[in-house]
């Protein structure tokens, strides 16, 4: 049953309208009648009706004042205004402020029936959309979680295929009660929430909302292409934000690793794992990022440090080549000699003679 409250200072109109509604057989029942806007406000607050039908002109508080007061509330409710031809300008004002429909005096039964049918059809469509939306939300959330994880790992192929899956799902919803617009709206909310969870709140771009509780930059009633474009733009923007954030963090981390290498390269037991543990990264990940930022692999850079230092030490006439090998981290002289000649084209002994 849909509960109805009527507000009108004309007793006969109010009673006649209540009778038409109750006898319409459309599931509406008048549960309260008010003489003025103030009384109607109290009834609406107490009874929480689904539908309010109010006259425009009433004493104490007129219909427009009542509508303004009710807009402050949170309970969903349809509002219909009753008006005569002489105050139709007020009706137009009311329609601009969220009123659903109007009834012109003198009110006829067929007019009331059509109005109730329109309201009922609207509610039924909304309920069907809500049910469909509820059924689709798990799929929507799953797509968002998967896309967020691919974004977080900067998996470019995965991001592209994830967006394709999102747009494919939206296309399948076209024509259903859960339109692509609301689908994109929900997906964006889930995507932001998941990114906030993954990042601890520090990665999502600052100029887009991070929660479904905030007003989105494009409303869910926007055209499908606008919502689709918003998703694509958000994903690209977020990927760039993650990339920049990580590059800055990686630069500091790799700089620490390079400094550690420069200080410890003479330790023959120094390994990739040793340095990775020092900077708190996994060895494989450290190796990949190190090469990206330094330009050469870890082993190549370590060899470079050792051999450059060896070249410097061999400039001393009193230096012994096997001692130089040990001082720069080579426990095996033949290995050192081979690496040195490969790098400089001369054996350690030949280089020493040339320099001295």
Is residue 260 in some structural domain?
no
Based on the fold, state whether residues 95 and 42 are members of the same structural domain.
yes
pLDDT tens track for 221-273: 555 556 677 778 888 877 877 777 666 667 888 889 999 999 999 999 999 99
Is residue 229 in some structural domain?
yes
Is residue 355 in some structural domain?
yes
Q: Are 340 and 310 in contact (CB under 8 A)?
A: yes
Based on the fold, state whether residues 14 and 101 are members of the same structural domain.
yes
Q: What is the mean pLDDT of residues 177-202?
A: 75
Confidence of residue 207 (pLDDT cuts 50, 70, 90): very low
Question: What pTM was computed for the model?
Answer: 0.47
Confidence of residue 218 (pLDDT cuts 50, 70, 90): very low
153 has pLDDT over 70: yes
More confident residue, 59 or 133: 59
Handedness of CA 249, 252, 256, 261 (dihedral sign): positive
Is residue 255 in some structural domain?
no
Based on the fold, state whether residues 186 and 273 are members of the same structural domain.
no
Based on the fold, state whether residues 208 and 137 are members of the same structural domain.
yes
Of 73, 90, 107, the domain-final residue = 107
Is residue 54 in some structural domain?
yes
Q: Half-sphere exposure of residue 204, counting CA atoms within 13 Å on the CB side?
A: 21
175 has pLDDT over 80: no
Confidence of residue 90 (pLDDT cuts 50, 70, 90): low
215 has pLDDT over 90: no
Based on the fold, state whether residues 190 and 229 are members of the same structural domain.
yes
Q: What is the mean pLDDT of residues 181-192?
A: 82
pLDDT tens track for 119-132: 999 888 888 777 77
Based on the fold, state whether residues 91 and 7 are members of the same structural domain.
yes
Of 43, 73, 107, the domain-final residue = 107
Q: Half-sphere exposure of residue 139, counting CA atoms within 13 Å on the CB side?
A: 16
Q: Given this model, what pLDDT does residue 1 score?
A: 87
More confident residue, 202 or 179: 179
CATH of the domain at 12: 3.40.50.2300
355 has pLDDT over 50: yes
Based on the fold, state whether residues 30 and 96 are members of the same structural domain.
yes
Q: Indicate the SS3 state at residue 22.
A: helix
Based on the fold, state whether residues 76 and 155 are members of the same structural domain.
no
What is the share, in percent, of the chain residues with pLDDT greater than 90? 38
Q: Which domain holds residue 42?
A: 2-107
User: Comparing 53-67, 76-90, 136-150, 314-328, which segment has the lowest mean pLDDT?
Assistant: 76-90
Look at the chain and report how many structural domains it folds into: 3
Based on the fold, state whether residues 103 and 6 are members of the same structural domain.
yes
Assigned token pair, 95: 């329609």
Whole-number mean pLDDT of the chain? 83
Query: ω into residue 192 within 30 of 0, thus cis?
Result: no
Based on the fold, state whether residues 98 and 22 are members of the same structural domain.
yes
Alpha-carbon distance of 207 to 185, in angstroms, equals 17
β-sheet bridge partners, residue 6:
33, 53
192 has pLDDT over 80: yes
Based on the fold, state whether residues 309 and 222 are members of the same structural domain.
no
CATH of the domain at 333: 1.10.10.60
Of 107, 140, 165, the domain-final residue = 107
Is residue 141 in some structural domain?
yes
């Amino acid at each position: 049953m849909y509960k109805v409250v009527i507000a009108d200072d004309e007793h006969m109109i109010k009673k006649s309208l209540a009778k038409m509604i109750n006898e319409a057989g459309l599931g509406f029942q008048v549960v309260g009648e008010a003489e003025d806007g103030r009384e109607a406000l109290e009834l609406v607050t107490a009874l929480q009706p689904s539908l309010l039908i109010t006259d425009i002109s009433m004493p104490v508080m007129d219909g427009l004042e009542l509508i303004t007061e009710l807009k402050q509330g949170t309970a969903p409710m349809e509002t219909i205004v009753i008006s005569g031809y002489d105050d139709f300008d007020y009706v137009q004002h009311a329609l601009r402020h969220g009123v659903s429909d109007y009834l012109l005096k003198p009110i006829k039964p067929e007019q009331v029936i059509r109005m109730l049918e329109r309201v009922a059809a609207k509610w039924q469509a909304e309920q069907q959309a809500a049910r469909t939306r509820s059924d689709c939300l798990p799929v929507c959330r799953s797509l968002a979680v998967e896309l967020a994880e691919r974004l977080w790992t900067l998996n470019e192929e995965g991001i592209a295929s994830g967006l394709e899956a999102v747009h494919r799902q939206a296309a399948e919803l076209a024509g259903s009660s859960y339109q692509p617009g609301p689908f994109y709206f929900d997906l964006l909310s889930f995507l932001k929430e998941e990114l906030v969870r993954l990042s601890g709140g520090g990665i999502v771009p600052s100029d887009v909302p991070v929660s479904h509780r905030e007003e989105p930059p494009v409303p869910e009633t926007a055209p499908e292409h606008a919502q689709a474009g918003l998703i694509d733009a958000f994903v690209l923007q977020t990927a760039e934000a993650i990339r920049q954030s990580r590059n800055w963090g990686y630069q500091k981390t790799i700089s620490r690793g390079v400094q550690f290498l420069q200080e410890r390269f003479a330790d023959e037991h120094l390994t990739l794992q040793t340095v990775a543990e020092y900077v708190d990264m996994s060895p494989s990940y450290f190796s990949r990022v190190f090469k990206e930022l330094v330009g050469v692999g870890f082993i190549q850079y370590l060899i470079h440090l050792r051999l450059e230092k060896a070249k410097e030490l061999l400039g001393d006439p009193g230096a012994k080549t096997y001692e130089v090998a040990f001082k720069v981290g080579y426990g095996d002289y033949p290995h050192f000699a081979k690496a040195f000649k490969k790098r400089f084209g001369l054996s350690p002994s030949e280089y020493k003679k040339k320099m001295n």
